[in-house]
């Protein structure tokens, strides 16, 4: 009985500590398939130029976050993964939307971006945000943990899109959705042509749900349903898409 009580006490303390310091936690998840197993994209990959894509007020004035919340159906209690979170523009805006019963996973491959984001989250007192250091080919998120994954103005910067999309699948829950925002421009100009985006996601097994231009912006939101872990295209069978 004494041993059981000690274990229960430790569990309670650990849970409380995670709640208090959750904003500073990094996820440790099992690694996915290696980058070498996948074809490289047959198109330019843009440089990661800044953690801040645009002036935040300008994006707020255009109503970009509210459009994503509505179109993706982001609600209280959900877990949203922001892939390539950068400065945390969406992190701080989606945190109150998912509420205390939800969670925002801020993922990035640049450690200094995550360090700055942790500071921002801590100053704002956001208790439902956790961070995750991924790799170009693997977001390294816990299995079955995500309801909505967003990739905003960064898809053109992904060095290993087929590998990342493949390794993202295990983290997605049943009925999960993936929302990608990018500009109507070549990847070398920090956008992704819609036909190329559709081809690259279909190559891994994703199915397009909807597509539309965002109001007040030269960008679009494409929403996809992921394949199951078993039905995703095997790495050796993926054929890289060519820019038309």
Q: Say what the pLDDT of residue 49 is.
A: 66
| pLDDT, position 54 | 57
Cβ partners under 8 Å of residue 125, min gap 6: none
3-class DSSP state for residue 198?
A: helix
134: left (phi over 0), alpha (psi -120 to 50) or beta: beta
The structure's pTM equals: 0.87
Q: Residue 110 above 50 pLDDT? A: yes
pLDDT, tens digit, 9 for 90 and up, residues 62-94:
889 999 999 999 999 999 999 999 999 999 999
Q: Which tens digits make up the pLDDT trace of 25-37?
A: 456 677 899 999 9
- pLDDT single digits (tens) 7-23: 333 333 333 333 333 44
Show the domains of the chain with their CATH numbers. 22-237 (3.40.50.150)
Tokens representing 175 are 């009925």
């Amino acid at each position: 009985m004494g041993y059981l009580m000690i274990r229960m006490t430790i569990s309670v303390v650990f849970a409380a500590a995670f709640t208090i310091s959750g904003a500073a936690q990094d996820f440790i998840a099992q690694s996915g398939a290696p980058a070498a197993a996948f074809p490289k994209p047959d198109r330019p990959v843009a440089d990661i130029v800044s953690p801040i894509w645009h002036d935040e007020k300008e994006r707020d004035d255009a109503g970009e976050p509210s459009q994503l919340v509505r179109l993706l159906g982001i609600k209280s209690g959900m877990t949203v993964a922001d892939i390539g979170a950068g400065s945390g523009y969406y992190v701080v805006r989606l945190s109150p939307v998912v509420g205390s019963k939800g969670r925002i996973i801020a993922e990035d491959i640049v450690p200094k971006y995550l360090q700055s984001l942790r500071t921002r989250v801590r100053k704002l007192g956001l208790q439902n945000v956790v961070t995750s250091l991924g790799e170009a080919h693997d977001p390294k998120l816990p299995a079955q943990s995500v309801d909505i994954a967003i990739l905003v103005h960064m898809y053109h910067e992904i060095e290993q899109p087929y590998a990342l999309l493949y390794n993202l699948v295990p983290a997605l829950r049943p009925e999960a959705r993936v929302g990608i925002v990018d500009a109507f421009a070549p990847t070398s100009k920090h956008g992704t042509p819609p036909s190329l985006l559709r081809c690259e996601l279909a190559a891994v097994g994703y199915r397009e749900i909807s597509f539309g231009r965002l109001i007040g912006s030269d960008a679009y939101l494409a929403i996809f349903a992921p394949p199951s872990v078993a039905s995703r295209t095997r790495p050796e069978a993926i054929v890289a898409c060519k820019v038309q």
